[in-house]
């Protein structure tokens, strides 16, 4: 029996119920999907926060690091999109790993995905709370505990994600356009001022300058800031013409954020000239706000901090939606309680999965905030650890692409480069990034070297738990095991 023939029995409901049970639906355009996944990467937070770190570690030629990162992630996107066309399922990483490497690592990957995105979601909320507190203090406002803003952002996101995905998409589109506008204001201001104190220079594009920095660590930061585009296939049931929308949105997301980061990194380096690396090292947090305030107008310094907060709020909406759909897909396959697979009859959203995600992340945040009342470094630990998990999943997906086409043969529209060479190069690039992340975990999650290495156990345990559960299903519940990996072709 092939996987596709399991469609009638793959739902947790009976066939009689299937005709009346609502399903995920939507007509999101390529632009709406593009902005939805781009919100995940929080561009203004990247330009103001991560690009200075990349300059600090990468040296004057940090711009070249972003160019290389864009190329590497385009290689991943080539294999990802090719498999998405060959395997039209909404499970994304869960479906791809199950099909390419097997159902046991597939369910392990699904659990790793849920845990990784939950960690990233919690990191977003803590970051919002801490940053909002700092922003209000900078305006001589009242001192309010950071967790108050965390709770407020949790409420906003949880309510937003209860409704249809297109409600979130509209909010995310507005938020994305505003934060991109701030970045473009800075870029234009640098151009209008003729560059920095030394004008425009070819130094940021000179490969010889790479020897003056730590390429490995800089590449780690550069690749980390692209995350989000890999979730496009997860919304397959909710977009218009998924066979066209998903590939276009995937490539568009990588190319857009890649171009934005490349140009912004070059201009931020140019704005400070020969002092760029020193400034990025000594005061990375103020590097971008000070530059836009000096070159555009002082008001943009405060606006930058404000839009960083709204940017992370948009990122939280995006991450919540992604996590809820992983939980929904696992509910469809009965790998998690089938209760999670219920779709709201009016909003056509995975409302039970969404509420569950909100509840779980709330419990996580309560426990962690009681253990760390000041919240110091908590956002970096959560978001950094989740990022490592997603990078591992991207490696597994690229391996899955190779395994899938090696067994099934190259399908229509595929070729040797798309099915084998591009994903193999992506495995090398992303695998190296994972190794660097583990070696330099203190830079990813904070703390002293070796202090937080034990956090990796959380990722390993989630991968192992999912795999063990799949082994149990194979031995005790073969009908559930057969369904794993979204065996139904949805849509």
Question: Can you give the pLDDT at residue 92?
Answer: 83
Give me the sign of the Cα torsion angle 54, 119, 109, 12.
negative
Answer whether residue 8 shows pLDDT above 90: no
In a domain, 258, yes or no: yes
Spatial neighbors of 216 by CB under 8 A, at least 6 apart, are 432, 436, 440
Please report which helix (H) or strand (E) contains residue 259, including its range: helix 242-272
Report the chain's mean pLDDT, rounded to a whole number.
89
Mean pLDDT of the 150-154 span: 96
CA–CA dist 206, 272 (Å, integer): 17
Spatial neighbors of 472 by CB under 8 A, at least 6 apart, are none
In a domain, 100, yes or no: yes
Question: Can you give the pLDDT at residue 18?
Answer: 40
CA–CA dist 404, 96 (Å, integer): 9
Answer whether residue 70 shows pLDDT above 50: yes
CA–CA dist 279, 141 (Å, integer): 28
Question: Can you give the pLDDT at residue 487?
Answer: 56
CA–CA dist 325, 316 (Å, integer): 14
Answer whether residue 79 shows pLDDT above 90: yes
Token readout for 6 is 């399991």
Spatial neighbors of 14 by CB under 8 A, at least 6 apart, are none
CA–CA dist 130, 208 (Å, integer): 39
**Sequence-ordered alpha helix ranges (H) in 283-343:** 284-295, 299-332
Other C-beta atoms lying within 10 Å of the C-beta of residue 177: 10
Question: Can you give the pLDDT at residue 140?
Answer: 86
Other C-beta atoms lying within 10 Å of the C-beta of residue 274: 13
Question: Can you give the pLDDT at residue 6?
Answer: 34
Other C-beta atoms lying within 10 Å of the C-beta of residue 476: 9
CA–CA dist 324, 327 (Å, integer): 5
Domain count, the chain: 1
Answer whether residue 299 shows pLDDT above 60: yes
Confidence of residue 20 (pLDDT cuts 50, 70, 90): very low
Burial 441-458 (b: 16+ CB within 10 A, else e): bebbbbbeeeebeebbeb
For residue 176, which of 31, 386, 77 has the smallest C-alpha distance? Answer: 31
Q: Is 396 exposed, middle or buried (0-12, 13-18, 19+ CB in 10 A)?
A: buried
In a domain, 491, yes or no: no
Tens of pLDDT, residues 207-257: 999 888 888 889 988 998 888 888 888 888 888 888 899 999 999 999 999
Looking up tokens 């967790």 gives: 147
CA–CA dist 221, 226 (Å, integer): 9
Mean pLDDT of the 479-483 span: 92
For residue 311, which of 41, 51, 119, 122 has the smallest C-alpha distance? Answer: 41
Tens of pLDDT, residues 162-171: 998 888 888 8
Question: Can you give the pLDDT at residue 21?
Answer: 56
User: Can you give the three-state secondary structure of 128-164, one letter per residue?
Assistant: HHHHHHHHHHHCCCCCCCHHHHHHHHHHHHHHHCCCC
Between residues 29 and 186, the one the model is more confident about: 186
Tens of pLDDT, residues 353-366: 999 999 999 999 99
Tens of pLDDT, residues 120-143: 999 999 999 999 998 898 888 888
In a domain, 489, yes or no: no
Question: Can you give the pLDDT at residue 88?
Answer: 79
CA–CA dist 240, 26 (Å, integer): 7
Token readout for 141 is 């406002």
Confidence of residue 3 (pLDDT cuts 50, 70, 90): very low
Question: Can you give the pLDDT at residue 414?
Answer: 84
In a domain, 488, yes or no: no
Question: Can you give the pLDDT at residue 129?
Answer: 95
Tens of pLDDT, residues 252-290: 999 999 999 999 999 999 999 999 999 999 999 899 999
Domain with 211, as residue range(s), is 3-483
For residue 317, which of 325, 328, 305 has the smallest C-alpha distance? Answer: 325
1-5, 150-154, 485-489: lowest mean pLDDT where? 1-5
In a domain, 490, yes or no: no
- Is residue 261 within 8 Å of 225, Cβ to Cβ? yes
Residue 28 three-state SS = strand
Answer whether residue 385 shows pLDDT above 90: yes
Answer whether residue 203 shows pLDDT above 70: yes
Confidence of residue 75 (pLDDT cuts 50, 70, 90): very high
In a domain, 459, yes or no: yes
Tens of pLDDT, residues 321-357: 999 999 999 999 999 999 999 999 988 899 999 999 9
For residue 50, which of 285, 315, 389 has the smallest C-alpha distance? Answer: 285
Confidence of residue 429 (pLDDT cuts 50, 70, 90): very high
Please report which helix (H) or strand (E) contains residue 218, including its range: helix 215-224
Question: Can you give the pLDDT at residue 172?
Answer: 85
pTM over the 0.85 mark: yes
Burial 119-140 (b: 16+ CB within 10 A, else e): bbbbbbbbbbbbbbbebeeeee
CATH number at residue 466: 1.20.1740.10
Question: Can you give the pLDDT at residue 154?
Answer: 97
Question: Can you give the pLDDT at residue 7?
Answer: 35
Residue 8 pairs in a beta bridge with none
In a domain, 222, yes or no: yes
Question: Can you give the pLDDT at residue 491?
Answer: 29
- Is residue 132 within 8 Å of 309, Cβ to Cβ? yes
């Amino acid at each position: 029996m092939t996987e596709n023939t399991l469609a009638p029995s793959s739902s947790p409901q009976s066939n009689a119920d299937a005709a009346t049970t609502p399903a995920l639906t939507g007509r999101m355009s390529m632009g709406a999907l593009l902005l939805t996944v781009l919100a995940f990467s929080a561009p203004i937070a990247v330009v103001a926060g991560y690009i200075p770190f990349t300059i600090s570690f990468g040296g004057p030629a940090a711009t070249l690091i972003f160019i290389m990162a864009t190329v590497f992630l385009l290689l991943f996107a080539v294999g990802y999109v090719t498999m998405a066309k060959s395997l039209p399922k909404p499970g994304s990483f869960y479906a791809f790993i199950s099909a390419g490497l097997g159902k046991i690592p597939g369910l392990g990957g699904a659990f790793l995905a849920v845990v990784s995105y939950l960690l990233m979601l919690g990191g977003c909320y803590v970051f919002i709370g801490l940053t909002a507190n700092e922003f209000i203090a900078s305006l001589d406002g009242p001192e309010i505990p950071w967790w108050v803003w965390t709770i407020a952002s949790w409420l906003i996101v949880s309510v937003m994600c209860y409704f249809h995905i297109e409600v979130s998409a509209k909010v995310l589109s507005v938020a994305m356009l505003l934060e991109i506008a701030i970045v473009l204001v800075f870029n234009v201001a640098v151009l209008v001022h003729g560059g920095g104190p030394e004008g425009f220079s070819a130094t940021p594009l000179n490969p010889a300058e790479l020897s003056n920095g730590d390429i490995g660590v800089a590449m780690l930061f550069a690749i980390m800031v692209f995350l989000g585009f890999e979730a496009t296939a997860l919304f397959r049931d909710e977009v218009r013409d998924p066979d066209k929308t998903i590939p276009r949105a995937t490539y568009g997301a990588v190319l857009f954020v890649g171009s934005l980061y490349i140009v912004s990194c070059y201009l931020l380096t140019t704005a400070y000239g020969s002092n760029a690396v020193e400034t990025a090292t000594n005061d990375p947090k103020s590097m971008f706000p000070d530059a836009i305030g000096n070159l555009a107008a002082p008001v943009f310094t405060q606006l930058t901090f404000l839009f960083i907060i709204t940017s992370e709020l948009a990122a939280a909406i995006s991450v919540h939606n992604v996590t809820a759909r992983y939980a929904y897909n696992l509910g469809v396959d009965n790998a998690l309680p089938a209760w999670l697979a219920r779709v709201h009859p009016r909003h056509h959203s995975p409302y039970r999965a969404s509420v569950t995600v909100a509840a779980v992340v709330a419990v996580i945040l309560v426990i962690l905030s009681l253990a760390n009342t000041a919240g110091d470094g908590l956002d970096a630990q959560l978001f950094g650890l989740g990022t490592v998990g997603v990078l591992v999943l991207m490696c597994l997906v690229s391996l899955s692409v190779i395994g899938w086409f090696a067994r099934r043969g190259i399908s229509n529209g595929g070729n040797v480069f798309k099915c084998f060479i591009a994903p193999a190069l992506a495995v090398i690039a992303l695998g190296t990034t994972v190794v660097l992340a583990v070696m330099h975990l203190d830079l990813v999650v904070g703390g002293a070297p070796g202090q937080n290495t034990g956090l990796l156990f959380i990722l390993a345990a989630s991968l192992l738990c999912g795999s063990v559960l799949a082994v149990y299903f194979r031995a005790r519940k073969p009908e559930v095991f057969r369904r794993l990996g979204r065996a139904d072709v949805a849509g």
